[in-house]
Amino acid sequence: MDSDQGKLFIGGISWETTEEKLKEYFQGYGDVLQTVVMRDKISGKPRGFGFVVFADPNVLDRVLQDEHVIDGRTVDAKRALSREEQQGSKSGNTNSARNFGGGGSTRTKKIFVGGLPPTLTEDGFRQYFESFGNVTDVVIMYDQQTNRPRGFGFISFDSEDAVDRVLQKTFHDLNGKQVEVKKALPKDANPGAGGRSMSSGGGSGMGGGSYQGYGASGNNASSYDSRMDSNRYMQTQNAGGGYPYGSSGYGTPGYGYGPSNNGMGYGGYGSYGGANPGYAGANPGYGAAAVAAYGNPNAASAGYGSGPAGGPRSTWGSQGPSGYGNMGYGNAPWGAANAGGGGGGPASGGSGQSPTGTTGYGNQGYGYGGYAGNDGSYGNQSGYGAVGRASGAPSGNSPVGGGAAGDMQSGAGGYMNSGYGDASGNSSYGNSAWRSDNSQNSGNYGAPPNGAHGGQVGYGGGYGGAPSRQAQQQ
């Protein structure tokens, strides 16, 4: 964001125009930190637009008033939209999501540094950053085949504070060259879609591996099958890729899962309801998720419906939000444990355990609950909470934060009552996908009451049914 302050979007540029030309041209208005001409990733062909970043945002005013002709073309200079802005176009809030998701809540000791000049050595790199704190590691990435610098690298510090200091500015000047810094994505949290297949195995709810846990769901009955969900997500909104989470792919899956496995998910969820910062600290991944979904309308919907689509491309700029948004959603379903926690908030205790498919589902309710709580339209949180409880009970975990754990019936009751449960669940929910699921599988879902049982079962059922949905979709 700071970096976007002095950033101009330059549209309609000639295919002949290069970064150098842009820089040369705009330098007349003030110090240009960076220029970029966007090209098609595959063909390398210029796409006809680019960006210019001025050191001083104030010069934009002047620049915007003039007409610019570069390489014989009259170009169109506008303030650059932040990535968040461009994807959500309508709601204008770009702040909260960004602050949280963007990594504000995540503490890390590693920084991703982009825009490295090819000539930069690790030493030069290190020397500069040492002024911010103790540098423990420096990495400049090279192409494995060509051995050419890839233009980015990493720098690790021994304290998060140093990182914070570095991140005060997005652009840093290393001997006249500009580099851009961002928090490094936790690589280990990103197994990548393919990878090994289910290490997880663990029957219990979460399955083992983070990401794999997902697929693992297979364990629990197919009914659980994540794929379904993903479809559902996608269907609802857009989402693209074939990934379960629909999203970005990058960190998303890993994030969500990781935490949940660890039980951290819990904390995350709690925050959901409470939105407390503290939790964020505890678990980066989650925190972000929750918050994002929470604070940002777009995200929220995303979370709900899933994918904010866009996932992939916005990954960098708003990785938190988008990916997380999904997660919020997605997690719920899987993580029984989480669910419980969520509801109660902190609760969490039990985490991973509750293992049955059912339980898992119960959780889901939970996840939703969180949302619901936040947004009136969704319904009654308590109702949801109940669900969580219900599930918790069976699994034998006491811990559900919310309260009374345990009582299935009551739990169920809550569930049903809530907007969610009620008959086809349509009402308050608002999510068509769900609704349709419900209606299809309806039985259990909406099932009344006898409560708890009905409720839970319902979940399972719903899911199980899902597959058919999938079929339909295609």
CB of 19 to DNA, least distance (A): 11
* Distance, CA of 390 to CA of 401 (rounded, Å): 12
Which residue blocks in 104-262 are alpha helix, DSSP H? 122-129, 160-166, 210-216, 221-224, 226-236, 251-262
Q: Contact between 182 and DNA (CB under 7 A)?
A: yes
For 138, 200, 430, the CA distances from 305, given in Å and listed in that order, are 40, 27, 9
Q: Contact between 15 and DNA (CB under 7 A)?
A: yes
Q: Contact between 1 and DNA (CB under 7 A)?
A: no
* Distance, CA of 397 to CA of 206 (rounded, Å): 15
Q: Contact between 114 and DNA (CB under 7 A)?
A: yes
Contacting DNA (CB under 7 A), which of 89, 187, 242, 377? 187
Q: Contact between 316 and DNA (CB under 7 A)?
A: yes
CB of 465 to DNA, least distance (A): 37
Contact 296, 97 (CB under 8 A): yes
Contacting DNA (CB under 7 A), which of 5, 95, 112, 404? 112
Contact 444, 407 (CB under 8 A): no
Contacting DNA (CB under 7 A), which of 1, 5, 14, 275? 14
Q: Contact between 298 and DNA (CB under 7 A)?
A: no
Q: Contact between 275 and DNA (CB under 7 A)?
A: no
Site string for DNA, 442-461 (x = CB under 7 A): --------------------
For 215, 223, 286, the CA distances from 255, given in Å and listed in that order, are 15, 24, 7
CB of 235 to DNA, least distance (A): 24
Query: Which residue's CB is nearer to DNA, number 151 or number 241?
Result: 151
**What are the structure tokens assigned to 7, written together?**
């950033």
Sequence-separated (6 or more) residues with CB below 8 Å from residue 221: 357, 460, 464
Report the sign of the C-alpha dihedral through residues 273, 277, 279, 285, in that order: positive
Query: Which residue's CB is nearer to DNA, number 14 or number 427?
Result: 14
Contact 268, 66 (CB under 8 A): no
Q: Which listed range, 138-146, 214-222, 263-271, 290-298, lies at the site for DNA (CB under 7 A)?
A: 138-146
Contacting DNA (CB under 7 A), which of 18, 21, 31, 48? 48
Instruction: For residue 467, give the amino acid letter.
Output: P
* Distance, CA of 48 to CA of 40 (rounded, Å): 10
Give 81's DSSP letter.
P
Query: Which residue's CB is nearer to DNA, number 14 or number 398?
Result: 14
Contacting DNA (CB under 7 A), which of 21, 23, 73, 107? 73
Q: Tell me the pairing of strands 177-183 and 110-114.
A: antiparallel
Using CB under 7 A as the criterion, which residues of the chain lie in contact with DNA when the complex forms?
4, 7, 9, 11-12, 14-15, 36, 38, 41, 47-49, 51, 73, 76, 78-83, 86, 110, 112, 114-115, 139, 141, 144, 151-152, 154, 156, 180, 182, 184-185, 187, 190, 313, 316-317
